[in-house]
Structures are given as structure tokens and as C-alpha cells.
């Protein structure tokens, strides 16, 4: 039977609950336990797939094609496991399933209510993930902040769940902010006291309190929080801002957080956890010499979280190459043939990431053109591949004005077109080509050399593809299709020969990069940037 850990948040959002939860998971896995994680989001969207990157950061995609919250990316990177659609659900999804049942008549005329119907549906998900994954420990992060109206059913469900399970099977961890007030020269515990009071008012007593702060949490502060919040001072854990998120597991380990949690759950803490791979990554990170400047030319640059997995993947690859990666988020709307030399001229590499909609597409084309002509290493991801193909079509293959039918259905040369199985789809949610698909690599290509495998799997999230009508013409002009779907119907990767490093993929390889297992495409791309830097 699985043990369960709930992680709640107090005082403010964006506390890094996900990193705390994932760091604890890393330690428990390193102790030999089978750990899984899930994110529970209280909002009413059915999934995050249709939410704006400006509001919600990137949409992370799982192997089985679920469009999830970006915290799943942290989970995967910290526990080095591929998660599934079981690992994220929203209040919207819970309501959708209940309303579908109600319309079908499943409730036989009964009144459908938050308690017990919504809470039962939430608990069902808690039992189901334990059942399906056969994990020893399930960590569930409840999104939002304690006290929010919309998170109440989740806290209540977790409370009931604890009552249903044998004593000692469920642990609550409450993450709060302990702010430093400069004028008083001290950190303040009152917000934590209030947020724990709020949690206790709905029947949940936290077992541990994790204090997020940019200042040290002294013993007397721990004692004060312990006294007011009814825990012991040892159960008040400090989580101080760290220069690297990957240091957080070690900071928690230094306070024996994993051992304390295991003991509360009645599980043995055998020997010492295997933290060697993480420690190696951190020491490599500290020992980087030199740096590279990499431009990410996108349209959602005001919110860096929109490119979170790409930035992490570049960082992992930098560490693997022994260089710091200075990432420059460049607004594609500002890039043109005229401005490219100034904006991109000093870069060691250019990456064009995924995106939707016409705005800023021309800037991406200009960035591709500059990187191609100036022989700057170029990496195109999803819409980045489509931009690379349009640019090549226009400026090399002579197809003037070539574009994607996503942006102009009247254009003369629609070299990127809607996939046939997407043509008649009207609903936006969860209907793209999603999740892991196989890709066959052509033997004599850079892609094959990098992956070292003939068939690879990457995760997808798109509706458009390189048009097979124009593919022969593009290939004749020199575009190398280095990867395609096994049936040959879909162009999955392209590259150029007469260039130091020009590779684009229709998939999102960034989702599979982990600190301890950097992604080969990113590692090779950063190596090319490093080579350019060193001249
Ligand atoms: N908008 C493009 C498509 O739907 C690219 C999507 C993406 O970059 N994720 O095909």
C-alpha cells in the first residue's frame, strides 16, 4: 500500500512548492523507494493545454500525450522518471467528469454536491495513481494557496483521505514564505502562523513546515514557528533561495528532511541515499569554465517560464560541455533582416522555439536566415522547424513568400500545412498531435550521428507539418530531411549540410532533458556554440 505526502502552499503563490516536492522526491528515490508525483490544480480549465504561456508558462507534454502543468517538468527532471496523464488533474477535469455522469443519469436523480461528489472524485484520483504506478510513495502537490476558495475541495479531500488511510500513512507538508523585513532586520513568522491557522481551520495539521526565505532561519525562528503551529522545531525545515534549483535536494538532505518524513510514514531509512549523480552534476556546474551566448528568439519572452524546459535543457547541456550558458530571450517581433546583425550578431548560437499564431513569425524567419547565412549554430524546435523550412523555401528554393497555412491560407506556397487528421477538428483542447511518436533517422545525417540510433522517440504538440507537396522541391534545393515518421509521411527533422550546425525538429526534445541525463541534441548544439565561441 502506498504512503502519501501532500504538499500545500501558504502566504503567496510561486513559492517553489514544486521544487520542494520534487527535491524531497529525489531524496526518497535516492533512498531506493519507488516514488511518483502528481500536481493537482484548483482552476476550472480542464487541462493547461489551452492556457496562455503568458499566464501559465510552458505547457509540458508527457509521453502519453497529456498537456500538463510545467511543474511536471520539474518532477521529471528531479526524479528522472517519465510521468503520465495520471500525474496532473484540475478541478475543471473533475467537474467535467461529474457533469458528464450527471447528464447520463448516473446519479439517479440525486443531488450532486461538492461534498461528497467532488471530494470523492478527487480521492478516486489519489487512489488511482497509487494503484496504477504501484509506487511506495505518492507525492501530491496541491496548487494554489491555502485559503483560496477554489482549493478548498482539494484540502478537504486530502483531509478525508488521511482519515480513510491507516494512521501514519499520510503526511502533510506546508510550504510558506518567511519574509525578511529590512527595516526590522529580521525574518517574520506571522504570515506562516496565519497560513497554518487557515490550514488547521479546515482540519489539516501540517506535519512539516517548509520555510521559503532569502534569509537564514535561525533556531529561535524555528522554535517560534513550532510553538505557534504545533510542530516540533525539528519539523520546521528551511528552504533558502539557492543559486541553483538542483541544490535544493541537498539543502533538504542536510536537515535530514527525507529521514524525518520516512520516519513519520513508518518507513525505514536504509543506509545513505545515492546522491552521487546529483552531486556530480552540481560539481560539474561549479566547474564550468568559459561561457556561450545563446539567443532564444520567441514571442512569449516577457515570461521566461514560457520556455522553461528549453532553458533547463540548455543549462544541462552547458554543464555537460563545461560552459555557462548565457541565455538571451529575444523578442521575435523585433527581429528583421535589418535588425538581425545587431540583435544576433554577437550570439554563439540561435534557437527558435515553438509557438502558435502569426505574430512574430516573420521575425523568426529573419532569425533563421541570419543564422543560416552567417553560419551561426541554429536549432529549430517545432514552430522553429516550420520557420526554418519556410525560410529555406523562400530564400534558397525560390518559393517567394512561402509560409505555413496556419498564417495564410491564401499564400501561393504553403510549404507547411495542416496535417490531414487535423483538418476537421474544431475543438481546441487536447486535439493536437500529442505525445511520443517514433522518428526514423537517415543514416548519413547529423541527427543520426547525434542520437546514435535509427529510431528515436520524442514528444510532439502541433497541428501543422512540412507539406509533402513541396518536400521534393525543398530536398532538391538541398534541405536534408534527416528524420521522418516510420511510414515516411511526416517530416520530423531537417538539417543543412553546408553549415556548422543547423538542425530542426518537429518535436520537443527539451521535455526529455534531465540534469543527470542531458539531451544529446542540446548537448551537441551547445558544443557547436562552444566551438563557434572558441573560433
Ligand atoms: N503552431 C505550430 C503547429 O501547430 C507549431 C506548434 C508548436 O510550436 N508547438 O504546428
Q: What is the dihedral of CA 303, 308, 314, 317, to 10 degrees?
A: 160
What pLDDT digit, counting tens, does each position of 236-289 carry? 999 999 999 999 999 999 999 999 999 999 999 988 899 999 999 999 999 999
Could you give the angle at which helices 383-395 and 361-373 cross, rounded to 10 degrees?
70
Residue 304 C-alpha from the chain's centroid: 12
> Residue 26: which residues within 8 A CB-CB, separation 6 or more?
78, 79, 249, 278
State whether residue 456 is helix, strand or coil: strand
Range name among 48-62, 166-180, 283-297, 501-515 with the lowest pLDDT average: 48-62
* Mutation probe of ligand 1 site: the residue of 296, 306, 354, 414 with most atoms within 8 A of C-beta: 354
Is 315 one of the catalytic residues?
A: no
The residues lining ligand 1, judged by C-beta closer than 6 Å to any ligand atom, are: 354-356, 382-383, 406, 461-464
Inter-residue contact 196 to 176 (CB < 8 Å): yes
Grade residue 427 by pLDDT with cuts at 50, 70 and 90: confident
Distance, CA 364 to ligand 1 centroid (Å)?
Answer: 13
Is 382 one of the catalytic residues?
A: yes
Angle among Cα 452, 454, 459 to the nearest 5 degrees reads 90
d(CA 253, CA 261): 11
* Mutation probe of ligand 1 site: the residue of 49, 404, 464 with most atoms within 8 A of C-beta: 464
Inter-residue contact 290 to 527 (CB < 8 Å): no
Whether the predicted model's global pTM rises above the 0.75 cut? yes
**Residue 354 CA: which ligand 1 atom is closest?**
8
Catalytic residue among 382, 390, 462, 484: 382
426 pLDDT higher than 90: no
Q: Which residue is it, cell 543547423?
A: 502
For the chain, counts of helices (H) and of strands (E)? 18, 23
Retrieve residue 58's grid coordinates.
Answer: 510552458
Distance, CA 176 to ligand 1 centroid (Å)?
Answer: 37
What pLDDT digit, counting tens, does each position of 359-395 carry? 999 999 999 999 999 999 999 999 999 999 999 999 9
> Residue 86: which residues within 8 A CB-CB, separation 6 or more?
38, 125, 128, 129, 132, 133
**Residue 355 CA: which ligand 1 atom is closest?**
8
What pLDDT digit, counting tens, does each position of 103-119 carry? 999 999 899 999 999 99
Amino acid at each position: 500500500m502506498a504512503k502519501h505526502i501532500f504538499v500545500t502552499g501558504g502566504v503567496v503563490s510561486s513559492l517553489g512548492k514544486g521544487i520542494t516536492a520534487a527535491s524531497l522526491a529525489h531524496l526518497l528515490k535516492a533512498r531506493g523507494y519507488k516514488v511518483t508525483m502528481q500536481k493537482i490544480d484548483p482552476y476550472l480549465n480542464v487541462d493547461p493545454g489551452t492556457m496562455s504561456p503568458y499566464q501559465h508558462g510552458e505547457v509540458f507534454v508527457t509521453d502519453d500525450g497529456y498537456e500538463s502543468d510545467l511543474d511536471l517538468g520539474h518532477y521529471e527532471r528531479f526524479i528522472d522518471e517519465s510521468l503520465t496523464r495520471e500525474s496532473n488533474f484540475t478541478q475543471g477535469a473533475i467537474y467535467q467528469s461529474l457533469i458528464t455522469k450527471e447528464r447520463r443519469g448516473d446519479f439517479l436523480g440525486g443531488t450532486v454536491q461538492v461534498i461528497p461528489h467532488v471530494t470523492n472524485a478527487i480521492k478516486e484520483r489519489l487512489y488511482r495513481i497509487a494503484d496504477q504506478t504501484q509506487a511506495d510513495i505518492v507525492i501530491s502537490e496541491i496548487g494554489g494557496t491555502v485559503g483560496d476558495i477554489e482549493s478548498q475541495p482539494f484540502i478537504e479531500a486530502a483531509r478525508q483521505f488521511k482519515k480513510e488511510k491507516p494512521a501514519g500513512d499520510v503526511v502533510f507538508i506546508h510550504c510558506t514564505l518567511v519574509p525578511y523585513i529590512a527595516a526590522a532586520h529580521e525574518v517574520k513568522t506571522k504570515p506562516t502562523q496565519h497560513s497554518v491557522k487557515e490550514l488547521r481551520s479546515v482540519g489539516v495539521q501540517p506535519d512539516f513546515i517548509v520555510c521559503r526565505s532569502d534569509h537564514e532561519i535561525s533556531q529561535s525562528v524555528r522554535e517560534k514557528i513550532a510553538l505557534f503551529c504545533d510542530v516540533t522545531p525539528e519539523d520546521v525545515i528551511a528552504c533558502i533561495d539557492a543559486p541553483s534549483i538542483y541544490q535544493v535536494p541537498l539543502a533538504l538532505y542536510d536537515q535530514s528532511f527525507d529521514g524525518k518524513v520516512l520516519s513519520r510514514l513508518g518507513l525505514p531509512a536504509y543506509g545513505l541515499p545515492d546522491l552521487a549523480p546529483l552531486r556530480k552534476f552540481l560539481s560539474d556546474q561549479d566547474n564550468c569554465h568559459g561561457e556561450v551566448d545563446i539567443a532564444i528568439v520567441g514571442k512569449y519572452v516577457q515570461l521566461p517560464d514560457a520556455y522553461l524546459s528549453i532553458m533547463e535543457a540548455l543549462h544541462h547541456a552547458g554543464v555537460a560541455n563545461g560552459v555557462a550558458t548565457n541565455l538571451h530571450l529575444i523578442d521575435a517581433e523585433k527581429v528583421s533582416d535589418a535588425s538581425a546583425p545587431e540583435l544576433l550578431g554577437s550570439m554563439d548560437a540561435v534557437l527558435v522555439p515553438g509557438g502558435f499564431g502569426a505574430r512574430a513569425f516573420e521575425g523568426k524567419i529573419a532569425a533563421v536566415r541570419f543564422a543560416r547565412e552567417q553560419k551561426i549554430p541554429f536549432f529549430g524546435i517545432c514552430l522553429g522547424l516550420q520557420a526554418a523550412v519556410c525560410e529555406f523555401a523562400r530564400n534558397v528554393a525560390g518559393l517567394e513568400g512561402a509560409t505555413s497555412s496556419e498564417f495564410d491560407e491564401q499564400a501561393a506556397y504553403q510549404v507547411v500545412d495542416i496535417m490531414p487528421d487535423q483538418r476537421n477538428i474544431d475543438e481546441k483542447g487536447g486535439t493536437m498531435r500529442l505525445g511520443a511518436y517514433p522518428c526514423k533517422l537517415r543514416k548519413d545525417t547529423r541527427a543520426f550521428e547525434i542520437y546514435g540510433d535509427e529510431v528515436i522517440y520524442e514528444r510532439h504538440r502541433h497541428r501543422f507539418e512540412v507539406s509533402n507537396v513541396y518536400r521534393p522541391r525543398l530536398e532538391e534545393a538541398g534541405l536534408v530531411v534527416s528524420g521522418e515518421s516510420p511510414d515516411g509521411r511526416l517530416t520530423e527533422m531537417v538539417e543543412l549540410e553546408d553549415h556548422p550546425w543547423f538542425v530542426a525538429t518537429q518535436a520537443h526534445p527539451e521535455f526529455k532533458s534531465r540534469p543527470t541525463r542531458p539531451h544529446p541534441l542540446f548537448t551537441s548544439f551547445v558544443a557547436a556554440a562552444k566551438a563557434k565561441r572558441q573560433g
